[in-house]
Structure 1
Amino acid sequence: MTRPTSRDVAGAAGVSQATVSLVLGGKWRGRVSERTAALVRETAETLGYRPNLAARNLRLGSTRTALLVVPALTNEFFARVYTGAARIASDHGFGVVLYPSPDGTGPARDPFPSARAALDGVIASSMAAAALDAIGGNGLPLVMLDSDPTAGQAAAHVNLAMADGMRQAAEHLLGLGHRRILHLAADIDTWTFHVRARTLATVLGPHAELRTARAALTVADALTATEAALTAPGPRPTAIVCDDDILAAGACKAARRLALRVPEDLSVTGVDDLALATAVEPELTTVHLPAERVGEQGMAALLAVLEGTPWTAPDIPVELVVRASTAPPPPPARP
């Protein structure tokens, strides 16, 4: 069976080959009407047409490949980010290569002899920013995810409304009556975790006693840090705000080891809304982060940069999902 060509698509749709090239190359806006673009895409799909990317790349002088730099593929959040980025990339004839750091936060070896020859641009999580030095792609268009928007190295930024998410969690606990709160903070020096800490201090400071414990992003480290914090001298916290769901799972395990009930004795909140949040018992109150949308916007931002179009977009909204791990604090113990 003969493979359909762009000429076949043009003939069936009643348009020129140039129009087909513009539409399927994602460069039609402002040149082709929405109706014609939809007709071309529908005709191409009906005929089973697939562009010859190798030939087109030779003409364009580009690989139509983006690199997505993440801390680790073992984290469900970043797997979802990839899903979103790959979806938008596919719509524009791009591929996405994943570049995870082997230890979850630091740099890995350069996967390319020359990044500038193999890539058109880079999308990177702030948690994996150290890996950028190993890529050797200075001068490549860079889109940063969940990072300081005032930093000058990136051509565009895609951020979640993280401060608003932490505000929602803090106000939820205050509304339940909690006044002794522990922040179980991720022991990682990145902008997104600094935002979480600053927001909690601002919202809770005038109304509650806020303590902080730090842990690496593992259940085991969270368990150890939480046990130490809950058994320290002084009144025990009645609620724990965790920087992510993995830390929250460790906090819940620590509570059980200390014979504390969640949420009757101790309320726990997380961030991310991973599958883990509904796998634990009780199910976790957590800030839902739309990871796939982060990937979609990251890829859209890179495409805009490559086309020379300024990228501006508001922070992606997040939402607190209230489940069974939070409740009013226990009544004060009788003297």
Structure 2
Amino acid sequence: MAHPTGRPSPPAAAARPTSKDVARAAGVSQATVSLVLGDKWRGRVSERTAALVRDTARDLGYRPNLAARNLRLGHTRTALLVVPALTNEYFARVYTGAAALAARHGFGVVLYPSPEGIGPARDPFASARAALDGVIASSMAAEALRAIRGTDLPLVMLDSDPAGTDAAAHVNLDVADGMRQIAAHLLGLGHRRILHLASAVPSWTFDVRARALRTALTAAPGVELTTAPSALDVDSARRAAETALTAPGPRPTALVCDDDILAAGACKAARRLGLRVPGDLSVTGFDDLALATALEPELTTVRLPAEQIGEQGMSALLAVLDGRRPAPGDLPVELVARGSTAPPPAT
């Protein structure tokens, strides 16, 4: 048929296959197709039939109308991941793990930064409750998220105080054990004068690290532990370390840093003061970022399974949305001993 302008009409697009087409081709009911493609077939449809429906849908090129289905079910299949910063590699890896698991379940993850992790975080949507199914927060304060989630959306907290009552689930790293591993490593090397270069950011995870380090070190005889707070950037850490290392009295022989960024600042301070790492001063970090192996010597640090905590956080949210109890337990961490630690210099 001619186009009204006189030009030939474009060829008609091929009709998009529907669930009814899949049902007819597979020889099953539309209800069966809905169960299988909605991943709710177990216990209701046989493995053989489920495989047949999936293969038929793939062969026909069937794609579900997710927008219509989500509107009908009242779900957006979208989670919000709130982090303190986008510039930190650790949070990028948390997102990678969460997004990978979410994709396997037909969910999307929106990444949103709320600097410092201390609220209130602003709502990134006109109405978050209308745009989201749930919120995952990494290293954040739960009260900072009230503007985003109100009281309706389920909240999963990562690396946060498990005593908090405002979250549907908690997924934590065993950061206390990480500090115990560092303490045992340094004590085993013979260090007794130790400086803790501590994060000045008020956070549950840093409080846990400080308590665990102090408990582990003060249980050993003859240990002197001092603490110097620092903002979480290299230059602040360098200044804090320089001040602590030039204070009156015997100089520490080891610096325990709350993360690898602080450790990088500590190594710069040592160089400026003419101290060798690890000959004069051992330095440890926490996180095992790419920075840890970019330093020379490479940094002894605690490896955190960032991708895994992202996966576990998304898994916990899916469980809550499905009315199931999330899996309990902290994720283990691992000390990675490298060249920045050695026995203390002979007195």
Shared fold (TM-score, shorter chain, > 0.5): yes
Task: Report if the CA contact (8 A) 2:157-2:169 is conserved.
Answer: yes
Q: Does 2:195 align with 1:185?
A: no
TM norm structure 1: 0.91
Q: Structure 2: which amino acid aligns with 1:253?
A: K
Distance across 2 between alignment mates of 1:122 and 1:44: 32
The one-character-per-residue Cα deviations of 1:143-171 (angstroms, maximum 9, x if unpaired) are 00011111100000000111111111111
Aligned to 2:236: 221
Choose from 297, 311, 317 the match for 2:312.
297
Distance across 2 between alignment mates of 1:275 and 1:12: 52
- In structure 2, the CA distance between the partners of 1:251 and 1:60, relative to structure 1 (3 Å rule), is same
Q: Structure 2: which amino acid aligns with 1:172?
A: H
SS in 1 for 2:302: strand
Choose from 129, 151, 157 the match for 2:164.
151
The one-character-per-residue Cα deviations of 1:10-59 (angstroms, maximum 9, x if unpaired) are 56777654444344434445545677667766665666544321011011
Moved more, 60-69 or 12-21: 12-21
The one-character-per-residue Cα deviations of 1:113-151 (angstroms, maximum 9, x if unpaired) are 211111111001233545413325322100000111111
Q: Aligned pair count?
A: 332
Task: Report if the CA contact (8 A) 1:223-1:251 is conserved.
Answer: yes
- In structure 2, the CA distance between the partners of 1:8 and 1:262, relative to structure 1 (3 Å rule), is farther
SS in 1 for 2:310: helix
Q: Does 2:242 align with 1:238?
A: no
Q: Structure 2: which amino acid aligns with 1:278?
A: T
Distance across 1 between alignment mates of 2:38 and 2:169: 22
- In structure 2, the CA distance between the partners of 1:33 and 1:294, relative to structure 1 (3 Å rule), is farther
Aligned to 2:65: 52
Structure number with larger C-alpha Rg: 2
SS in 1 for 2:301: strand
Choose from 195, 198, 219 the match for 2:211.
198
- In structure 2, the CA distance between the partners of 1:237 and 1:136, relative to structure 1 (3 Å rule), is same
TM norm structure 2: 0.88
Moved more, 96-105 or 198-207: 96-105
**In the TM superposition, what is the alpha-carbon distance from 1:199 to its structure 2 partner?**
0.5
Task: Report if the CA contact (8 A) 1:262-1:268 is conserved.
Answer: yes
Task: Report if the CA contact (8 A) 1:71-1:128 is conserved.
Answer: no
Structure 1 unaligned spans of 5+: none
The one-character-per-residue Cα deviations of 1:248-280 (angstroms, maximum 9, x if unpaired) are 111111111111111111111111111111111
- In structure 2, the CA distance between the partners of 1:37 and 1:143, relative to structure 1 (3 Å rule), is farther
Aligned to 2:76: 63
Distance across 2 between alignment mates of 1:292 and 1:116: 27
Distance across 2 between alignment mates of 1:96 and 1:171: 39
Choose from 310, 313, 316 the match for 2:331.
316
